[in-house]
Amino acid sequence: MSVEASPSDRPARSSAQWIGATLAALVLWFALYWRLEGFSAWLVGKLRLPAGSHIEEAARFFAFDTPKVLMLLTLVVFGMGVVRSFFSPERTRALLAGRREGFGNVAAATLGVFTPFCSCSAVPLFVGFVSAGVPLGVTFSFLISAPMVNEVALGLLFALVGWKVALVYLVFGMTIAIVAGWIIGRLHLDGWLEEWVRNVRAGEAVVIPAHATVADRIEAGVEAVRDIVGRVWLWIIIGIGVGAFIHGYVPTELLASIMGKGEWWSVPAVVLIGVPIYSNAAGIIPVVEALLDKGAALGTTLAFMMSVIALSFPEMVILRKVMTTRLIAVFVAVVAVGILAVGYLFNFLFS
């Protein structure tokens, strides 16, 4: 049951003050966000870890990604909270459901191409979309596309193997995101979201009246941050910690020896290997370059890259807070089938 919050039930406040405070907070957010990389490098330097060591790489990853993802989550959830004050979950679902869902999958996958997020960074947007009532399949199209098909991945392929391969990768990556999201949407698995997420989607939160002031809407965003970020922040830190540990100890030589073989099992093998590893498209570039230089098959290498950035285990740890194990299993299975298809196709076309 929803609860309508009346302005008379709260202390009077100035909309101008709320706007000023929000603008100041946004300026501070962006100032801090653009300095995260330098700050993380400085912080790790203070630890006096051996330069170039595995532990230093892991520490750099953790020190940079933890505040980055938490800040992204806070900003996105705040924005979605403000938006939800204008559009109820029911209205949002009605806008994108049914006959519009296919278009929503395409739009979400396209948006993902232009957002330079790794899988864990895309999770905040996923949480925001789900809590705002956007259809589950549409949110999955974004979750798959955002890390897997972006300008970094396309630039890497263009530089290494030419525009034709980059174009084919774009088409098939988008196809996986759109089709996988559509399939998950057709399965109607909303009941497999965690109960607290279903409650938010059902409207069991503060509903802002139509005559709400700017202050009311900003406060709705702040309340959304308290509620959602308060529930998932620990899972995010755990997930990034696991990813940082694995990121610092990736056995490149072993991967190259497996991926250089032409056996049929090499593609599913590297997908299984890639799932526990966490990196964004930029972070996996050195590994992909090394693998190709050592003779790894192109399709196998791409399947590995896609599994790392679209099906990472740390991402699953974070997603576990908002969806059940059954829903995560369906997501992994659908996307894995698409990645396997791309791997085999590229090996056949470019062998």
Render 48-115 in DSSP notation, one character per residue.
TPPTT-HHHHHHHHHHHHHHHHHHHHHHHHHHHHHHHTTS-HHHHHHHHSGGGHHHHHHHHHHHHHTS
Q: How many residues are listed for the chain in this entry?
A: 351
- Return the pLDDT at 88: 52
Decide if 123 contacts 286 (C-beta within 8 A): no
DSSP 193: B
Written as one letter, the residue type at 164 is K
In the numeric block, the tokens 């653009």 are attached to 34
Rg for the chain, CA atoms, rounded: 21
Q: pLDDT tens for residues 195-251?
A: 777 776 655 444 555 567 778 888 888 887 887 778 778 777 876 777 677 667 766
* Band (87; pLDDT cuts 50, 70, 90): low
The beta-carbon contacts of 257-265 under 8 Å, at least 24 apart in sequence, are 259/291, 259/296, 259/297, 259/300, 259/301, 259/304, 260/294, 260/295, 260/296, 260/297, 262/297, 262/351
- Return the pLDDT at 125: 67
Measure the CA angle with vertex 292, ends 286 and 294; round to 5°. Answer: 100
* Band (42; pLDDT cuts 50, 70, 90): very high
Mean pLDDT confidence for 137-160: 76
Task: Report the 3 state secondary structure along 229-290.
Answer: HHHHHHHHHHHHHHHHHHHCCCCHHHHHHHHCCCCCCHHHHHHHHHCCCCCCHHHHHHHHHH
CB atoms within 10 A of CB 157: 22
Q: Identify which of 294, 296, 299 has the alpha carbon closest to the alpha carbon of residue 349.
A: 299
- Return the pLDDT at 90: 52
Measure the CA angle with vertex 40, ends 38 and 41; round to 5°. Answer: 65
Tokens of 338: 């698409």
